[in-house]
């Protein structure tokens, strides 16, 4: 029997806001324990929540970027459950009226090889809703210590349909989702900081079947590659259980990315009964067309849309776009430079992908700190195009430009890397004239005094009115002298 | 409407995280049974087409700008804590 | 002239302004009175005399410097022990919070302080404001100053009793289903529940969030108007707070003179109404007629469903609101607990009293899987109908007159059956469900000498009219000038 996996992902993403979801104390990561609290975060007696407008803006933007329907009216519900990381013992969330419905995440599957684009698919979303994060438990031998700094951070839950069928698809889904959210400035999605967290619901069924099998929820998938590995492991485990004649049970399993093994988590509740009801402390939200339009105008182009545009507008190949597009800043850099160097977009792309990224990598610098600007790069490409510098010289200029931030022609002048004059016949004639007029220097040179060649350069430079490429002059003189 | 006898006091007390004594269970089950029987009269109200009221005066879009203000100093945050160490609340180990 | 501690705020304010009285003298008189009668009345969970005197002194200094903040500057105002005052205990009369000290001020507390009032003492209540007699306090049962063997009403029993006994000059309570109006009626003081959203709930320990409102107790309607004016107004910290113009309620009392069209709902005068209470309320209605008001019979046909609706909505909300009292971050933590989950079960079992447990259990049940539609959602729909009843009536009348409570103050320990106690809220609960303003004012005494209250229910956010209507009655009567013999 052949099996296919059915996978749905629940992704929690922290929204990038200054203050918390329902109170105006700062959000943050890595601060001393319990220094980002206030009476509301701690759920002290008597406190009340007040919505964060920026969090609403951000989730609506996220929804617009993913093509969701933004609900004209949504409300807040309380999800009741007891846990020491949850200060109120209920989470303010959205139950039956989430703010975003539907939508899709466009994914790209691995191609047949690295430089060939893979298949694209649209993974449908069920919903996106807004809620608040909980605090953090630190476990010790006999005690757990609670830090509420994270509690109340705005959290967006993105629920996909059970529409993925392989670990690769799940990996591609998360990769694309993360890129899109970072593009939109919605979150930094740093998984090490817990800004993006993923749970996977996985079941298997015989190929061709349409029903849903017994699902297992995989938790604590705390890196994108752990998600891929964990899902692959779980699919294999389920197939093995079924093929051995066993029965799958609906359960929650914990995947350990280090050991590659998973184990069942014993259920803490008899059964989950969250007793959802509308939060009486909060008023519903109405999103009108004007609000949506304003946020839509702030939304950036989505990564795959940008890639398609780069193909047609700049005729750059996949090998370049696949490096540029995942990084919004890098693709913006490219586009700025490409605009300044019309018709030379591919050269611009190559310089970025090969040279700029190499230098940034060596220097361990982010793009934002690059001294090479799009204007510098465009200027360099144009110097090459005009024949003013040759490729090897250009490489040298680039390295210098990266180090000093000077303009490429300044560097070329200073280091004498300009390829001028362009007429090599003329240069050769000036060399011959100089040799003919300086018998003494020629004799000294022939006798082995290498520096004597310098005396021959002056008249050449004079004849070239200073525009001769010194390196070229040197080479030409030596060639002519050698032929004497 | 469900019958008042549906009330499973053990289950509900568990959901509410309250350890009830056997005497409390018996007493509450009887008292709440009376209350639930009284509440049964709501069954007779015709609510067809009636919208629920969550707030007496519905207003929309009540929010604040995203400005971070100073919170509680950690000493004040933990002043009422039953047990604390290293600026954190101590609880017996939570088994995850 | 009555003793200082029995005088209305308005009169005291005049003497303070005229420098015939200092805030310290007033505070000393109130402290002395409290020390004299508190062992019998038991209205306070705690008070801090030194702190109050220091604040009174600061008030005198402001006045001396010509910086008086108005009629409440230097007036001792007692606060129900569910309203947060920074640095003071906040217990909700529960073992759960026996040692809790709040680090922040409620919005009403901040506003009172800004008006110069001295926040005076922590007043007893039914635990977490759940009850109608103040017998559900974990610490003490407050006595009715008019008959120490009787309850002061509840849940704001301490607030009503302290004022009636002269232990404070005005007080604040909270009203979820009648918890200001009913004790006001039982103790012969004025008590007012504002429209839902008029007064910020920030810093009020939530019982039922969609019904709770803070409101004033005063010796006179004018005093209630003064205090309401100080605490009302939009608060950005309470998302349910309403943006509306706050008139000068005190000044409006004499400007708004009627005559008004007043409704009398026939459903409020049926079986269960004590005949003496009914007669007193009828006499009050007749008085309004004499004043030239048009009295109209109105119908509030869904009145009979109010209690059932209330006990679903209020308990559901409370089951969630009280989940935070878990012994983790603050409050009582059981010594019996062996693991983190145990802390919940035992701390809550030990920290909460019987009535609180009952309501949490009921509220948890009505929200639990499979029951939501049958209970909570249905109750919210009936709530819509109850609200519509009132709004329909207001097409014909300016205010509605009813008894506040079907009975006068009952004996401590007399009502042991929870349902029987709940049924006493019949006249006050609809007002909360509909979000309306309601006041109780003294309108007579039983032959046994127990106070009787008249409830006046106003239009949403028309507190100025409501107070003016109440004031018109009070001007022609002297019930409110009578004080209990202690
Ligand atoms: Mg979820
Ligand atoms: Zn979630």
Q: How high is the mean pLDDT of chain A?
A: 93
The alpha carbon of residue B76 is apart from the nearest alpha carbon of chain A, in Å, by 9
Phi, psi values for residue A136, rounded to 5° = -125, 135
pTM for the model? 0.92
Q: Nearest 5 degrees, angle CA C36-CA C42-CA C46?
A: 90
Measured CA to CA, the distance from residue C105 to residue C109 in angstroms comes to 6
Cβ–Cβ of A281/C209 closer than 8 Å? yes
| pLDDT tens digits along C18-73 | 999 999 999 999 999 999 999 999 999 999 999 999 999 999 999 999 999 999 99
Measured CA to CA, the distance from residue C184 to residue C465 in angstroms comes to 20
Measured CA to CA, the distance from residue A419 to residue A432 in angstroms comes to 19
How many CB atoms are located within 10 Å of the residue A447 CB? Answer: 8
Determine, yes or no, domain membership for A373: yes
Determine, yes or no, domain membership for C405: yes
3-state secondary structure of C124: coil
Measured CA to CA, the distance from residue B65 to residue A130 in angstroms comes to 17
DSSP one-letter string for C290-325:
HTTPEEEEE--TTGGGHHHHHHHHHHHHHHHHGGG-
Position C117 scores a pLDDT of: 98
Cβ–Cβ of B62/A142 closer than 8 Å? no
| pLDDT tens digits along C383-413 | 999 999 999 999 999 999 999 999 999 999 9
Show which of A373, A394, A414 is a domain's final residue.
A414
Q: Does A31 lie at the interface with B, CB-CB under 8 angstroms?
A: no
| pLDDT tens digits along C207-234 | 999 999 999 999 999 999 999 999 999 9
The region of weakest confidence among A75-89, A287-301, A333-347, C335-349 is: C335-349
Position A270 scores a pLDDT of: 47
Residues A161 and A257 in one domain: yes
Whether residue A393 has pLDDT greater than 90: no
Position B96 scores a pLDDT of: 55
Beta strand pairing status for A251-256 and A216-221?
parallel
ipTM: 0.97
Q: What is the number of residues in chain B?
A: 96
Cβ–Cβ of A45/C102 closer than 8 Å? yes
DSSP one-letter string for C213-253:
EEEEEESSHHHHHHHHHHHBS--TT-TT--------HHHHH
CA C128 and chain centroid, separation = 13
Tell me whether the omega of the peptide bond preceding residue A150 falls within 30 degrees of 0, making it cis: no
Whether residue A263 has pLDDT greater than 50: yes
Q: How high is the mean pLDDT of chain C?
A: 97
> Where does the pLDDT of residue A424 fall: very low under 50, low under 70, confident under 90, or very high at 90 and above?
confident
Q: Does A284 lie at the interface with B, CB-CB under 8 angstroms?
A: yes
Please write down the HEC assignment for all residues of chain A. CCEEEEEEEEEEEECCCCECCCCCEECCCCCCCCCCCCCCCCCCCCCCCCEEHHHHHHHHHHHHHCCCEECCEECCEEEECCCCCCCCCEEEECCCCCCEECCEEEEECCCCCCCCCCCEEEEEEEEEEEEECCCEEEECCCEEEEECCCCCCEEEEEEECCCECCHHHHHHHHHHHHHHHHHCCCCCCCHHHCCEEEEEEEEEEECCCCCCCCCEEEEEECCHHHHHHHHHHHHHHHHHHHHCCCCCCCEEEEEECCCCEEEECCCCCCCCCCCCEECCCCCCEECCHHHHHHHHHHCCCCHHHHHHHHHHHHCCCHHHHHHHCCCHHHHHHHHHHHHHCCCCHHHHHHHHHHHHHHHHHHHCCCHHHCCCCHHHHHHHHHHHHCCCCCHHHHHHHHHHHHHHCCCHHHHHHHCCCCCCCCCHHHHHHHHHHHHHHCHHHHHHHHCCCHHHHHHHHHHHHHHCCCCCCHHHHHHHHHHHHHHC
For chain B, the domains span 9-43
Position A416 scores a pLDDT of: 80
Measured CA to CA, the distance from residue C17 to residue C23 in angstroms comes to 10
Whether residue A420 has pLDDT greater than 70: no
Determine, yes or no, domain membership for C377: no
| pLDDT tens digits along A160-180 | 999 999 999 999 999 999 999
Closest Cβ opposite residue C365 in set B12, B18, B56 = B12
Burial class (CB in 10 A: 0-12, 13-18, 19+), B2: middle
Whether residue A422 has pLDDT greater than 80: no
First-to-last alpha carbon distance for chain A, in angstroms, is 84
Show which of A243, A271, A294 is a domain's final residue.
A294
Determine, yes or no, domain membership for A34: yes
Determine, yes or no, domain membership for C352: no
Position A426 scores a pLDDT of: 82
Closest Cβ opposite residue B63 in set A50, A73, A146 = A50
Q: Which residue has the higher pLDDT, A426 or C280?
A: C280
Residues A67 and A209 in one domain: yes
Determine, yes or no, domain membership for A419: no
C371 to each of A273, B6, C426, how far by Cα in Å?
11, 10, 25
Joined together, the tokens standing for residue A83 give 């846990």
| Domain CATH for A473 | 1.10.10.410
Position B93 scores a pLDDT of: 85
Determine, yes or no, domain membership for C282: no
Measured CA to CA, the distance from residue A304 to residue C173 in angstroms comes to 60
Would you identify the CATH topology of the domain B9-43? Answer: Histone, subunit A (1.10.20)
Of C130, C144, C138, nearest in space to C412 by CA = C144
Residues A367 and A290 in one domain: no
Joined together, the tokens standing for residue C63 give 């006045």
Residues A235 and A316 in one domain: no
- Structural domain count of chain C: 1
Whether residue A419 has pLDDT greater than 70: no
Share of chain C above pLDDT 90, in %: 97
Q: Does C346 lie at the interface with A, CB-CB under 8 angstroms?
A: no
Largest CA distance in chain C: 70
| pLDDT tens digits along C153-166 | 999 999 999 999 99
Whether residue A268 has pLDDT greater than 50: no
Residues A20 and A96 in one domain: yes
Position A390 scores a pLDDT of: 75
Determine, yes or no, domain membership for A126: yes
Determine, yes or no, domain membership for C221: yes
Residues A254 and A359 in one domain: no
Position A258 scores a pLDDT of: 85
- What is the DSSP-derived secondary structure letter of residue C93? T
Inter-residue contact A114 to A57 (CB < 8 Å): no
Whether residue B3 has pLDDT greater than 70: no
Residues A220 and A239 in one domain: yes
Determine, yes or no, domain membership for C350: no
Residue C408 belongs to what H/E stretch?
none
Joined together, the tokens standing for residue C377 give 């959602």
Q: Does A271 lie at the interface with B, CB-CB under 8 angstroms?
A: no
Inter-residue contact A397 to A359 (CB < 8 Å): no
Inter-residue contact C45 to C89 (CB < 8 Å): yes
Say what the alpha-carbon torsion angle C350, A79, B62, B49 is, to the nearest 10 degrees: -110
Position A257 scores a pLDDT of: 84
Determine, yes or no, domain membership for C257: yes
Whether residue A21 has pLDDT greater than 90: yes
Phi, psi values for residue B56, rounded to 5° = -60, -35
Range of the domain at C417: 4-264+395-481
Residues A410 and A439 in one domain: no
Residues of A with CB under 8 A from a CB of C: 39, 42-51, 78, 80, 82, 84, 87-90, 144, 146, 148, 268, 271, 273, 275-277, 280-283
- Which chain A residue lies closest to B93 (C-alpha atoms)? A143
How many CB atoms are located within 10 Å of the residue B14 CB? Answer: 17
Neighbouring subunits of A (3+ Cβ pairs under 8 A): B, C
- What is the DSSP-derived secondary structure letter of residue C377? I
Whether residue C286 has pLDDT greater than 50: yes
3-state secondary structure of B15: helix
| Domain CATH for C83 | 3.90.1300.10
Instruction: Give the residues across from C262 on adjacent strands.
Output: C295, C399
Beta strand pairing status for A104-108 and A120-132?
antiparallel
Cβ–Cβ of B45/C435 closer than 8 Å? no
| pLDDT tens digits along C346-386 | 999 999 999 999 999 999 999 999 999 999 999 999 999 99
Chain C residues touching residue A283 (CB < 8 angstroms): 239-240
> Where does the pLDDT of residue A421 fall: very low under 50, low under 70, confident under 90, or very high at 90 and above?
low
First-to-last alpha carbon distance for chain C, in angstroms, is 18
Chain B residues touching residue C387 (CB < 8 angstroms): 53, 56
Of C280, C296, C292, nearest in space to C477 by CA = C280
The region of weakest confidence among A455-469, C58-72, C249-263 is: A455-469
Range of the domain at A474: 424-483
Determine, yes or no, domain membership for A210: yes
Whether residue B46 has pLDDT greater than 70: yes
Q: In this complex, how many residue pairs, one in chain A and one in chain B, have their CB atoms less than 8 Å apart?
A: 127
Measured CA to CA, the distance from residue A198 to residue A156 in angstroms comes to 12
Measured CA to CA, the distance from residue A53 to residue C236 in angstroms comes to 13
Measured CA to CA, the distance from residue C268 to residue A198 in angstroms comes to 57
Buried b (16+ CB within 10 A) or exposed e, A305-336: ebbeebeeebebebebbbbbbbbbebbebbbe
Residue C262 belongs to what H/E stretch?
strand C261-265
Residues A45 and A139 in one domain: yes
The alpha carbon of residue C325 is apart from the nearest alpha carbon of chain B, in Å, by 11
**Which residue numbers of C are catalytic?**
80, 155, 179
Share of chain C above pLDDT 70, in %: 100
Show which of A268, A294, A320 is a domain's final residue.
A294
């Amino acid at each position: 029997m052949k099996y296919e996996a059915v996978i749905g992902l629940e992704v929690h993403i922290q929204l990038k806001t200054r203050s918390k979801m329902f109170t105006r104390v700062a959000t943050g990561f890595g601060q001393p324990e319990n220094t980002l609290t206030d009476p509301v975060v701690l759920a002290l007696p008597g406190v009340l929540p007040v919505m964060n407008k920026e969090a609403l803006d951000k989730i609506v933007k996220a929804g617009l970027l993913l093509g969701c329907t933004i609900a004209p009216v949504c409300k807040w519900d309380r999800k009741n459950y007891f846990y020491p990381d949850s200060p109120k013992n209920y989470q303010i969330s959205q139950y039956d009226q989430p703010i975003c419905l539907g939508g899709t995440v466009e994914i790209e599957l691995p191609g047949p090889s690295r430089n060939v684009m893979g298949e694209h698919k649209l993974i449908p979303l069920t919903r996106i809703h807004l809620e608040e994060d909980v605090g953090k438990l630190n476990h010790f031998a006999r005690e757990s210590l609670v830090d509420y700094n994270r509690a109340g951070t705005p959290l967006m839950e993105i629920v996909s349909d059970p529409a993925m069928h392989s670990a690769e698809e799940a990996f591609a889904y998360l990769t694309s989702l993360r890129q899109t959210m970072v593009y939109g400035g919605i979150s930094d999605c740093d998984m090490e900081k817990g800004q993006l967290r993923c749970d996977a619901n996985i079941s298997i069924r015989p190929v061709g079947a349409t029903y849903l099998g017994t699902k297992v929820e995989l938790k604590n998938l705390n890196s994108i590659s752990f998600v891929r590995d964990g899902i692959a492991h779980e699919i294999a485990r389920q197939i093995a259980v079924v093929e051995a004649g066993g029965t799958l049970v609906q359960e929650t399993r914990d995947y350990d990315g280090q050991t590659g093994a998973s184990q069942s988590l014993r259920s803490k509740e008899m059964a989950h009964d969250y007793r959802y009801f509308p939060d009486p402390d909060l008023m519903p939200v109405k999103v009108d067309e004007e609000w949506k339009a304003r946020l839509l105008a702030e939304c950036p182009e989505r990564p795959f849309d940008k890639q398609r545009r780069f193909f047609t507008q700049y005729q750059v190949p996949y090998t370049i776009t696949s490096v540029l597009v995942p990084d919004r800043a890098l693709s913006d850099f490219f586009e700025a430079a490409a605009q300044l160097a019309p018709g030379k977009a591919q050269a611009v792309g190559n310089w970025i992908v090969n040279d700029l990224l190499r230098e940034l990598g060596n220097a361990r610098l982010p793009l934002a700190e690059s001294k090479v600007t799009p204007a510098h790069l465009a200027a360099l490409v144009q110097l090459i195009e005009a024949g003013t510098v040759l490729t090897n010289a250009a490489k040298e200029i680039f390295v210098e430009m990266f180090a000093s931030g000077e303009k490429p022609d300044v560097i070329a002048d200073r280091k004498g890397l300009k390829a001028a004059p362009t007429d090599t016949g003329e240069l050769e004639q000036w060399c011959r004239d100089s040799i003919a007029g300086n018998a003494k220097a020629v004799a000294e040179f022939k006798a082995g005094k290498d520096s004597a060649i310098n005396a021959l350069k002056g008249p050449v430079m004079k004849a070239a009115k200073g525009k001769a490429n010194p390196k070229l002059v040197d080479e030409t003189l030596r060639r002519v002298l050698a032929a004497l | 409407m469900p019958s008042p006898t549906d009330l499973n006091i053990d289950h509900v007390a568990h959901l509410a995280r309250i350890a009830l004594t056997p005497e409390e269970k018996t007493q509450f089950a009887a008292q709440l049974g009376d209350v639930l029987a009284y509440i049964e009269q709501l069954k007779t109200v015709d609510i067809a087409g009636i919208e629920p009221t969550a707030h007496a005066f519905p207003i929309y879009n009540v929010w604040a700008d995203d400005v971070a203000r100073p919170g509680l100093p950690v000493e004040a945050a933990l002043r009422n804590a039953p047990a604390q160490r290293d600026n954190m609340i101590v609880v017996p180990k939570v088994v995850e | 002239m009555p003793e200082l501690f029995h005088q209305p705020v308005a009169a005291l304010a005049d003497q303070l302004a005229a420098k015939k009285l200092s805030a310290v003298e007033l505070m000393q008189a109130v402290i002395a009175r409290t020390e004299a009668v508190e062992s019998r009345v038991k209205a306070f969970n705690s008070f801090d005399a030194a702190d109050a005197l220091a604040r009174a002194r600061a008030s005198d200094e402001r006045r001396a410097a010509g910086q008086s903040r108005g009629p409440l500057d230097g007036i001792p105002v007692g606060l129900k022990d569910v309203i947060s005052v920074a640095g003071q205990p906040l217990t909700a009369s529960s073992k759960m919070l026996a040692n809790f000290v709040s680090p922040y001020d409620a919005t009403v507390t901040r506003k009172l302080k800004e008006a110069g009032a001295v926040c005076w003492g922590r007043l007893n209540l039914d635990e977490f404001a759940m009850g109608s007699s103040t017998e559900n306090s974990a610490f003490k049962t407050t006595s009715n100053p008019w008959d120490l063997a009787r309850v002061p009403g509840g849940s704001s029993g301490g607030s009503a009793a302290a004022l009636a006994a002269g232990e404070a000059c005005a007080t604040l309570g909270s009203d979820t289903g009648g918890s200001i109006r009913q004790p006001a009626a039982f103790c012969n003081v004025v008590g007012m529940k504002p429209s839902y959203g008029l007064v910020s709930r920030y810093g009020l320990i939530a019982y039922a969030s969609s019904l709770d409102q803070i409101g004033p107790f005063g010796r006179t309607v004018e005093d209630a108007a003064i205090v309401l004016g100080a605490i009302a107004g939009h608060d950005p910290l309470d998302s349910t707070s309403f943006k509306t113009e706050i008139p000068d309620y005190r000044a409006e009392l004499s400007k708004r003179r009627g005559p008004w069209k007043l409704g009398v709902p026939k459903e409020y005068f049926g079986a269960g109404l004590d005949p003496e209470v009914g007669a007193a309320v009828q006499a009050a209605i007749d008085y309004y007629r004499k004043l030239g008001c048009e009295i109209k019979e109105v119908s509030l046909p869904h009145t009979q469903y109010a209690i059932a609706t209330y006990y679903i909505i209020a308990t559901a909300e409370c089951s969630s609101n009280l989940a935070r009292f878990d012994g983790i971050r603050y409050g009582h933590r059981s010594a019996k607990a062996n693991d983190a989950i145990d802390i919940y079960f035992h701390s809550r079992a030990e920290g909460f009293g019987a009535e609180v447990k009952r309501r949490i259990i009921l509220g948890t049940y009505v929200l639990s899987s499979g029951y939501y539609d049958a209970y909570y959602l249905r109750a919210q729909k009936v709530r819509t109908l109850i609200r519509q009843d009132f709004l329909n009536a207001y097409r014909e009348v300016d205010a509605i007159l009813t008894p506040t409570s079907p009975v006068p103050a009952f004996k401590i320990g007399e009502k042991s059956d929870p349902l029987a106690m709940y049924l006493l809220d019949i006249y006050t609960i609809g007002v909360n469900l509909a979000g309306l303003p309601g006041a109780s004012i003294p309108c007579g005494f039983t032959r046994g000498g127990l106070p009787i209250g008249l409830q006046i229910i106003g239009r949403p956010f028309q507190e100025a009219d409501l107070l003016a209507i109440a004031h018109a009655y009070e001007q022609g009567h002297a019930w409110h000038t009578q004080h209990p013999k202690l």
